[in-house]
Amino acid sequence: MKGYVQVYTGNGKGKTTASLGLAIRAAGAGLSVYIVQFLKKGDYSEIKALSKFKNITVEQYGLGKFIKGKPSDEDIAAGAAGYLKLCEILKNNKHDVVIAEEGNVAVMCNLISEKELLALIENKPANVELVITGRGATEAVMEKADLVTEMREIKHYYKQGVKARIGIEK
């Protein structure tokens, strides 16, 4: 099976949710899925759910805090570790679907470079489906992708003060 590059970007809700839906669909079909979460650390609801699938692996390379302004050396080191793990996973070619969750944001926050993200796309084995999520996808990343979906916020209850809810947003 030929693998493609999918990018889910935009300022609207649903990018991670879409990629996790794809992961579950792939797992249900017997495919092997590997997910790097660049910015998250902790016991999110999706981690609990995905742990029930023996053919889905999730590894977190965030420090569990929001990056404002310039990332710390620790943030950069964590991002670099996630990037190196993705390189290793793609090189070993043992997973059918590889998801770089918040990969675009990792570039926006200078945890990894646009050049590095493009290298992942370039070095992806032909049979692997690579999914990159996160707002702020660069023109170059979108140009290299086979599928680009932009989630556009039209209305969001967050603006009325609704915090992220367990099981819905986190």
64 located within any domain: yes
49 located within any domain: yes
169 located within any domain: no
| 5-58: pLDDT as tens digits | 999 999 999 999 999 999 999 999 999 999 999 987 877 888 889 999 999 999
109 located within any domain: yes
Helix (H, G, I), strand (E, B) or coil at 34: strand
Q: Can you give the residue range of the structural domain that contains 132?
A: 5-160
State yes or no: pLDDT of 67 exceeds 80: no
127 located within any domain: yes
129 located within any domain: yes
Q: Which of 72, 153, 88 is nearest to 120 (CA)?
A: 88
- Name residues whose C-beta falls within 8 Å of residue 147's C-beta, 6 or more positions apart in sequence: 4, 5, 6, 7
| 85-100: pLDDT as tens digits | 999 999 999 999 999 9
Strands 129-133 and 5-9 come out as parallel
pLDDT band at residue 169 using 50, 70 and 90 as cut-offs = confident
53 located within any domain: yes
* 110, 76 contact by CB (below 8 A): yes
What pLDDT does 69 receive? 72
Q: What is the count of structural domains for the chain?
A: 1
The torsion angles phi and psi of 167, rounded to 5 degrees, stand at 90, -15
| 105-155: pLDDT as tens digits | 999 999 999 999 999 999 999 999 999 999 999 999 999 999 999 999 888
What pLDDT does 6 receive? 98
Look up the pTM and report it: 0.93
Cα–Cα dist 134/84, whole Å: 19
Kindly report the CATH number assigned to the domain that includes residue 57.
Answer: 3.40.50.300
- Name residues whose C-beta falls within 8 Å of residue 16's C-beta, 6 or more positions apart in sequence: 46, 101, 102, 133
168 located within any domain: no
